[in-house]
Amino acid sequence: MQIHWYPGHMHKAQRKIREIIHQVDVMIEVLDARLPLASRNSLLEEIRGDKPCLMILNKTDLADASVTKKWLAWYNQQSGITAYATHTGERRRLQDIPQLCKDMVPRRGIPGKPVRALIAGIPNVGKSTLINALAGRKVANTGNEPAVTKNQQKVAAGKYFQLLDTPGIMQPSPGDVLAGYRLATSGAIRATAMEFEEVALFAVDYLLQRYSGALAKRYQVDEASDDASLVLAEIAQRRGCIRDGDIDLHKASEIVLNELRAGKLGRISLEEPNRQLPYRLLPPEEPTEPESDESA
Ligand code: G4P
């Protein structure tokens, strides 16, 4: 699947973060707990260098709790990173964030020396919602479409804690094809930059492999099936997605993706550490020709 990134945005955001990084004590990188690898931007790691990072796995209300636990352990064993899983509805847990940051930079967070944290991450992971929750008021716009441009802000959150919002739009790292599908499934990619049907087929195939019970329960489809196309067509029929007498797969795809994103199929994680399920509708990779050694 071709995802249309905007290299210009990325370049600008990157440049601006490099300009302000010296004012920052801790980077708070927000990830989507359903896909904590695909929703990461590896450039942020390079830009922060030795600065400590609080990795927030957000939207845990939508993710499979047992998988989130594995991701927490996975990130916590990485140097310079403290990982914390939460969702923005958990107001009390969010209040731990300033202290977690302070623990990483004990010389800050005292009168005259607030902890200065930069909140960064790809669009739609919940950065603005988090900033508003920490600030206790609406200072950032939240949006239902990824990649909404916002201006850089500096916000006091509590007495000794200051937040800076990512200046500009950090796109996901260009990952493999499957990472692109996972991002699209989660809602991190603009509707206009993806094919609903293609993404829904990926999602149904994944669900059949990993959460077949949840899929069967929601749509009364055959959970033993291994054919995502047939299952999507069955969902279309059950939900009355018919257009001009034909099955409307686009409509069925919208239903599946919207309901999955809204958590109506239950808590679903889209990736697990060290475990990658295949996408069974992808054509098998062409064998690569061995390089000829012309100098021989
Ligand atoms: P961003 O700044 O990183 O781009 O993300 P933003 O806060 O705008 O959040 C994107 C969407 O994700 C918003 O929903 C927001 O409400 C939702 N969201 C944020 N945190 C969580 C969370 O922990 N759990 C769940 N389930 N959703 C979360 P929206 O419907 O797109 O916009 P809105 O109508 O809520 O403003």
Q: Which atom of ligand 1 is nearest to the CA of 30?
A: 3
CB 200 within 8 Å of CB 250: no
Stretch 263-288: mean pLDDT, rounded? Answer: 88
How far, in Å, is the centroid of ligand 1 from the Cα of 123?
10
Ligand 1 neighbourhood includes 209 CB (under 6 angstroms) = no
267 phi/psi in degrees, rounded to 5: -90, 115
User: Which residue's CA is the nearest one to ligand 1's atom 15?
Assistant: 126
153 inside domain? yes
62 CB within 6 A, ligand 1:
yes
Q: Is residue 293 scored above 60 in pLDDT?
A: no
Alpha helices in the chain (DSSP H): 7-20, 42-48, 65-76, 91-94, 97-104, 127-135, 177-186, 196-210, 212-219, 228-238, 249-261
Count of domains for the chain: 2
Confidence of residue 73 (pLDDT cuts 50, 70, 90): very high
Contact 128 CB / ligand 1 (< 6 Å): yes
- Is the same domain home to 206 and 159? no
d(C-alpha 225, C-alpha 63), whole Å: 24
Residue 61 assigned ligand-binding role: yes
* 124 belongs to an annotated ligand binding site: yes
Residues 118 and 58 in one domain: yes
Q: What's the gap in Å between 228 CA and the centre of ligand 1?
A: 29
Query: Residues 136, 235: one domain?
Result: no
Q: Of 182, 207, 209, 210, which is closest to residue 194 (Cα–Cα)?
A: 182
Nearest one of 161, 265, 163 to 216, comparing CA atoms: 265
Asked whether residue 279 is assigned to any structural domain, the reply reads no
What is the mean pLDDT of the segment spanning 147-157? 61
Number of C-beta neighbours around residue 152 at 10 A:
13
pTM to 2 decimals? 0.91
State the sign of the Cα–Cα–Cα–Cα dihedral 156, 160, 161, 167: positive
Same domain? 16 vs 148: yes
Cβ of 142 closer than 6 Å to ligand 1, yes or no, is yes
Tell me whether residue 168 is annotated as binding: yes
Both 91 and 159 in one domain: the answer is yes
**One domain, residues 18 and 154:** yes
Side chain identity at 117, as an amino acid letter? Answer: A
Cβ contacts of residue 79 below 8 Å, gap of 6+?
none
Same domain? 120 vs 42: yes
Does 205 share its domain with 156?
Answer: no
Question: Would you call 209 exposed, middle or buried from its count of C-beta atoms within 10 A (0-12, 13-18, 19+)?
Answer: middle
Domain membership flag for residue 45: yes
Identify whether 70 is part of a domain: yes
Instruction: Answer yes or no: is the C-beta of 58 below 6 A from any ligand 1 atom.
Output: yes
Q: Which two tokens stand for residue 112?
A: 């005259």
- What contacts 147, CB < 8 A, 6 or more positions away? 6, 9, 123, 124, 169, 171, 190
Cβ–ligand 1 contact at 125 (below 6 Å)? yes
Q: Which residue puts its alpha carbon closest to atom 31 of ligand 1?
A: 144
Mean pLDDT of 182-188: 94
Whether 173 is in a domain gets the answer no
Co-location of 148 and 202 in the same domain: no
- Which pLDDT band holds residue 120 (cuts at 50, 70, 90)? very high
CA–chain centroid gap for 3, Å, is 15
**Shared domain check, 201 and 159:** no
Q: What is the mean pLDDT of the chain?
A: 89
Q: In this predicted structure, which of 2-16, 20-34, 85-99, 163-177 has the lowest mean pLDDT?
A: 2-16
Q: Which CATH number goes with the domain that contains 40? A: 3.40.50.300
Residue range of the domain that includes 115? 9-165
Task: Report whether 59 belongs to an annotated binding site.
Answer: yes
Q: Does residue 188 form part of some domain? A: no
Say whether both 116 and 230 belong to one domain: no
Q: Is 202 within 8 Å of 155 (Cβ atoms)?
A: no
